């Protein structure tokens, strides 16, 4: 790159993207201010050096092949964040609830021609897309969540049930399901109002969630019915979990607008086994067990037969 071109240099240094120019031997000829700020490497320290001496992560066959292709054919190459996540391993600068180890980047590589229309250099342009990626992930996460309780919703539960059931079928891994329902919830809504009912639902979630593992899927199935999908868990362990949930909910006192109420839950537990050949069958077994728990007095755990 002609470093005497004052206008080009100043424009490139003011742009909010990274720009690095390389020759055929991957020697760096230009390193703009954006790259200096995010890498901590000054142009005087890196210009003239081989790119791979500073960034060995780029010394891979695919990157080298694509760069050489640009010198040969003069084509244009796009580096997608969704495939590569980052080009240069810089620390992220934007605050986000999603923790990224590295700044998320997209980029493009294109040829630079001399006065004879010969490809003399290639340029890599790097864009920081961390905030955009975080926003996309937030939108995706929102589609998985129940609006009231902020746990997983029925749609996400069904997706995970499909995935976990496939693992159970293919690899013979244990899998159990707990279906639980609040006892006499309609009476709570009718007596105290729907605001109190909403408070109870959120309170139950606050009690149940800490009793589960991070790998478990806790979801609101609908109304006052919830499901706990327990991967790598047999029926005995799942029953112990269900008993723990039942006792934790029953021990809690629920206050709302100076009103105190005791709440209990009924639970049905089922394990995927040889006779449970479909997801629907697993759910039906757990739901039938829940019905038995309701029928036999509530505030109890019933294990599905079979």
Longest distance between any two alpha carbons in the chain, whole Å = 89
CA 71/CA 66 separation, integer angstroms: 9
CA 36/CA 23 separation, integer angstroms: 19
> Has 224 been annotated as catalytic?
yes
Q: Which residue has the tokens 């868990």?
A: 233
Catalytic residue among 97, 159, 224, 292: 224
> Taking Cα atoms as reference points, which of 195, 198, 199 lies closest to residue 223?
198
SS3 label, residue 263: coil
- Over the range 128-161, which residues count as b (16 or more CB within 10 Å of their CB) and which as e? bbbeebbeeeeeeeeeeebeebebbbeebbbebb
Query: The tokens of 25 are what?
Result: 């031997």
SS3 label, residue 241: helix
Q: Which helix (H) or strand (E) holds 199?
A: helix 194-208
Other Cβ atoms closer than 10 A to 99: 7
The residues that are catalytic are 224
């Amino acid at each position: 790159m002609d470093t005497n071109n004052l206008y080009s240099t100043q424009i490139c240094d003011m742009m909010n993207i990274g720009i690095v120019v390389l020759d055929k031997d991957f020697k760096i000829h230009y390193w703009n201010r954006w790259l200096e700020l995010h890498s901590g490497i000054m142009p005087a320290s890196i210009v003239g050096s081989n790119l791979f001496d500073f960034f060995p992560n780029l010394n891979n066959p695919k990157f080298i092949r694509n760069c050489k292709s640009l010198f040969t054919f003069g084509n244009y190459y796009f580096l997608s964040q969704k495939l590569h996540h980052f080009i240069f391993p810089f620390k992220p600068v934007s605050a986000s609830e999603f923790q990224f180890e590295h700044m998320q980047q997209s980029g493009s590589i294109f040829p630079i021609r001399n006065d004879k229309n010969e490809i003399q250099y290639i340029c890599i342009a790097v864009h920081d897309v961390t905030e955009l990626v975080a926003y996309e992930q937030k939108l995706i996460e929102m589609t998985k969540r129940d609006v009231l309780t902020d746990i997983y919703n029925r749609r996400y539960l069904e997706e995970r049930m499909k995935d976990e059931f496939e693992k159970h079928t293919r690899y013979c891994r244990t899998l159990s399901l707990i279906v639980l329902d609040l006892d006499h919830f309609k009476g709570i809504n009718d007596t105290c109002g729907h605001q109190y009912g909403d408070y109870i639902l959120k309170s139950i979630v606050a009690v149940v969630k800490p009793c589960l593992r991070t790998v478990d899927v806790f979801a609101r199935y609908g109304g006052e019915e919830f499901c706990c999908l327990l991967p790598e868990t047999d029926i005995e362990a799942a029953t112990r979990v269900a008993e723990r949930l039942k006792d934790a909910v029953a021990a809690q006192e629920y206050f709302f607008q100076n009103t105190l109420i005791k709440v209990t839950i009924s639970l049905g537990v089922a394990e995927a086994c040889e006779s449970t050949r479909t997801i629907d069958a697993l759910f039906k077994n757990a739901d039938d067990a829940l019905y038995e728990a309701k029928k036999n007095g509530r505030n109890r755990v019933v294990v599905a037969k079979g």
